[in-house]
Structure 1
Amino acid sequence: MKAAPEAQRRLLDLQAVDTALAQLAHRRKSLPEFAEIDTVSRELSALEDERVRAQVAVDDIDRDISRFEKDIEQVRQRKDRDQKRLDAGGAVREIEGLQHELATLNRRQSELEDAELELMEQRETAEATLNEVRGRLTSAVERRAAAERRRDEALADIVKEEEFKSASRGPLAADLPADLVTLYDKIRTDSGLGAALFRSGRCGGCRIELYGADLNRVKTAPADDVVRCEECRRIMVRTAESGL
């Protein structure tokens, strides 16, 4: 293929734009915020499970406390009834029975209240655990939101750069011979790099140094020949920097 030396030189400008676009695409995929968001999301999932378990523990204790409160209230009501019957008087045997039942009810109420007090202390501990988990959950949510904001800002910057680079690529490619651009694009699609500067006897694409006949082939090729590397098949652009 033939192409004017100036067109070949400008191919390096096109490659510079495409390299920048490729770097932006890589940067887009490898933003550290993506890994951070993923890590915090897994942490949030584990914390949510922990929060649920802590909430269940508090709810279970609340149900037990509620049950004890009902039992205590029933004992109190029974004591009130017995006390009224006792105050009303009656047969000695009935009075003795009521006194015995009141003593039993007092012991039962004391036992229930002690058990309820113990549960309330357990609830304080369980609620403290729940609040601690909620605090860590809130912190993780805030960290993820902050990482998402940084991600969005970084992506917005990348989009701006991509738009700028893409806008400059169109006119540049349009000003080059169509067959040269077609060849360049095919090579770039296959290998990621379509053209590179030939300098100091070395291909700028694969970095292999040429010797003997291979180097002589490049040196003696007409200036308008599109020379390609025998190893990587990329276009080797010769300029005043090539040292030929």
Structure 2
Amino acid sequence: MLHGFLMSQTVWEPVAPRLADTGRYEVFAPTMAGHNGGPYAGTWLLSSSVLADHVERQLDELGWETAHMVGNSLGGWVAFELERRGRARSVTGIGAAGGWTRWSPVKFEVISKFIAGMPMLALARLFGQRTLQLPLSRRLATLPLTATPDGISERQLSAVVEDAAHCPAYFQLLAKSLLDPGLLQLADTGVPVQLVLCEKDRVVPASRFYRHFTNFLPAGTRMTRLDGVGHVPMFEAPDRVAQVISEFIDDCRRPEREVIDPSAS
């Protein structure tokens, strides 16, 4: 389970135990390189490929040749990178990033949103948790995360602020993303894929950002819609997120997998 940009493994805390407690899965949710608590990246020009390198080494240490990959935002991009290397049994992309070419306008739209958040990030680095005491700070901090400010608890939001304030990958990934293309080999994807579309996603709204995926991914890709949630739905709807993950993985494990198009609401 791979987290999004500026975040850490803590975003999966509402969902990972729900999957592990079923007794049907082993769950690994690492913090990726260059993020708060993650390994040292070892390079200034950090990219999705470098992040995938680190995750691959961790999979090797676990003795996992392959795994069902679940990624949110940047984590979805890295999950597709790992699929290209033969490390994925399936891919579930939740608000996945990387659905663009080198000069796609949507890529620069996403990057501009993170640049627009720079003042808030600077305040978080200077004042830490006290930033959330400023007027409108909670509203601004939750805009890229949840559909409503009440969709995330105080403890969870504090963890997000802590992660963002201690993420050296911020400038590195933005700089490399300006130069790099996104996911260009989706047509060669050789495993089942589920794209989870979040209705209130303000970072990568499905109406514009999923055309690249739907145009190039193989036929049979499952499209699942989560109504009423933002870009990081694990905070607002952990039960629903766990359900769409487990149902898809269970379908992938059946000898004769039926491709369906469910709508989770």
TM range (shorter): under 0.3
Bigger helix share? 1
Q: Which has the larger radius of gyration?
A: 1
Greater relative contact order (Cα 8 A, min sep 6): structure 1 or 2?
1
TM-score where L is the length of structure 2:
0.19
TM-score where L is the length of structure 1:
0.21
